Amino acid sequence: MTVLLIAVGVLTIHTVVNVTFFFHRPPSIGDSKASVAILLPVRDEAHRVTPCLDSLLAQDGQPTVIVLDDGSTDGTADIIKGRADGRATVLSGAPLPEGWLGKPHACQQLADAAGDVEFLAFVDADVVLTRDAVRRAVALAQESHVDLLSPYPRITANTVGERLVQPLLQWSWLTFLPLWAMERLRNPALAAAGSRWPTAPGWRPAACTRPGASSSRATASRCGRRSGRR
């Protein structure tokens, strides 16, 4: 019992230290003028894509918005085309090549379609962004000199069950991940990222563009490090 109490105490202190000293939020005012492409891969998202798309089209600075429909059968593409009304580029996904997983292949097609923009912002269809979200994320990425930024969106919890379970995710990484070490060491074992809204400069090294490159956290860690930067 004593050992358990000590462990709980140490973890609690670690959580407080992480939140107090190492938990970074995007700057409230981002002044980046970088060119940005917001990239949205979708597949059978008709029931939830509209709020997401509306939030992307309303972003500050009017960044390029590109949507790739990867074989939806529920009318997702028609909803997007009608809602975007020419304000977004809507692509149809190519057949899946051998050795690829579906979502990495969709994201690769989107990145290729974005051209020579300075930042790529990938967004999941269940994410709704405030109008300054992308601008602030890009400003933080530039300020922090990182090659991959993975902002953590607020998770909406409505039911009692969701309110009990959803916070466990945030609690787990605040409690068990050594944020102080993650910011200082280049060990890929310390890397962590969420897939809902990764933002990165518009570069494509070989390690990231080979088939299936983004299908594991280890590879994602390698793709997030370049030229001595985190």
pLDDT in tens, 42-94: 999 999 999 999 999 999 988 999 999 999 999 999 999 999 989 999 999 99
Inside any domain, residue 218: yes
Residue closest to 195 by CA, chosen among 162, 142, 165, 152: 152
Inside any domain, residue 127: yes
What does the mean pLDDT of the chain come to? Answer: 81
Least confident of 31-35, 193-197, 208-212, 221-225: 221-225
CA–CA separation, 67 vs 65, rounded Å? Answer: 7
Helix (H, G, I), strand (E, B) or coil at 108: helix
pLDDT for the residue 201: 67
- Total domains in the chain come to 1
Inside any domain, residue 217: yes
Inside any domain, residue 185: no
Inside any domain, residue 15: no
Express as a percent the part of the chain with pLDDT over 90: 41
> Which residues, in sequence order, are bridge partners of residue 90?
67
pLDDT in tens, 98-152: 999 999 999 999 999 999 999 999 999 999 999 999 998 888 888 888 788 888 7
| Contact partners, residue 44, CB within 8 Å, separation at least 6 | 72, 73, 74, 76
Inside any domain, residue 126: yes
Q: Which domain holds residue 115?
A: 29-152+194-223
Q: What is the CATH number of the domain that holds 37?
A: 3.90.550.10
CA–CA separation, 207 vs 213, rounded Å? Answer: 7
Inside any domain, residue 206: yes
Query: How many CB atoms sit inside 10 A of residue 103's CB?
Result: 16
pLDDT for the residue 158: 84
Inside any domain, residue 219: yes
Categorize the per-residue pLDDT at 218 as very low, low, confident or very high, splitting at 50, 70 and 90: very low
